[in-house]
Structure 1
């Protein structure tokens, strides 16, 4: 482990979900530091939560959609050039099950919207991070692994 600023360093662990319906991707438009950006439903892993549980929870909280996870897309590491923050993202594929339009969305989320891959790619200047398109590109390239590849012990 690296030692930094008097404590052990560790990256922020996040999950993201690629939800597809009729060729469209479920995205969120969120306000980050005053800027309106696009992302998958995504967020941080919480204590005592599995990665799969986190993916389901974040999708519900940010979009109002309950989904069924269908595959593990991949794990991604990214360092933010401006801040040096490190992220370790676990991405999943999912299909929509039910929507609750009355559900209040997480703070900062302006709205959930469905976009075609072409629309999302064309808006690359609005992506929250390079992780957004990389995860979608891998999904579109057919990268799907069994969910049991992601194991929780204990």
Structure 2
């Protein structure tokens, strides 16, 4: 029987005035570009995780407005498999004094064209794919996700 490590991750596509919100972060010592993204934590639903990761990585508060899709990625044979749920969000406020997560170099707003010119810097192929799906008009309802309530702690 084969086993693998599953990574449950979230990301957001946030647009404002024709620009999309990204982070420049370090991965294996290299600067790369990604959507605001990260791992869901225990006890956290996917939308909460997407909101939290966006805030921690960019200092932007957002409102999750839609579901873009699910993306599955294995960087190389034998690596863990990343299950990314990507949401669409609208910016609601920025705190310029908030410290960004460790490893985040900066938050930046890029046009889709500017992002395409920097393809060599993308953290993974999912960065461009999520933008392509967003630009194509893909929008899924948030109620496509059912989150069963977490059980109460037993005492």
What is the SS of the residue equivalent to 1:94? strand
Query: What root-mean-square deviation, in Å, do the aligned CA atoms of Structure 1 and Structure 2 show?
Result: 1.2
Residue 85 (1) aligns with residue 80 (2): yes
Which residue pairs with 2:122 in the alignment?
Answer: 127
Matches within 5 A, 1:28-43: 28-43=23-38
Residue 139 (1) aligns with residue 126 (2): no
Unpaired stretches in structure 2, ≥5 consecutive residues: 150-155
TM-score, structure 2 length as denominator? Answer: 0.93
Q: What is the CA distance between 1:85 and its match in structure 2?
A: 1.9
For this pair of structures, how many residues does the alignment match? 149
Q: What is the CA distance between 1:114 and its match in structure 2?
A: 0.4
Which residue pairs with 2:62 in the alignment?
Answer: 67
Pick the aligned partner of 1:104 from 99, 116, 125. Answer: 99
Q: What is the CA distance between 1:121 and its match in structure 2?
A: 1.1
Q: What is the CA distance between 1:122 and its match in structure 2?
A: 1.2
> Aligned partners of 1:24, 1:95: CA distance in 2, in Å?
12
Q: What is the CA distance between 1:124 and its match in structure 2?
A: 0.7
Unpaired stretches in structure 1, ≥5 consecutive residues: none
TM-score, structure 1 length as denominator? Answer: 0.93
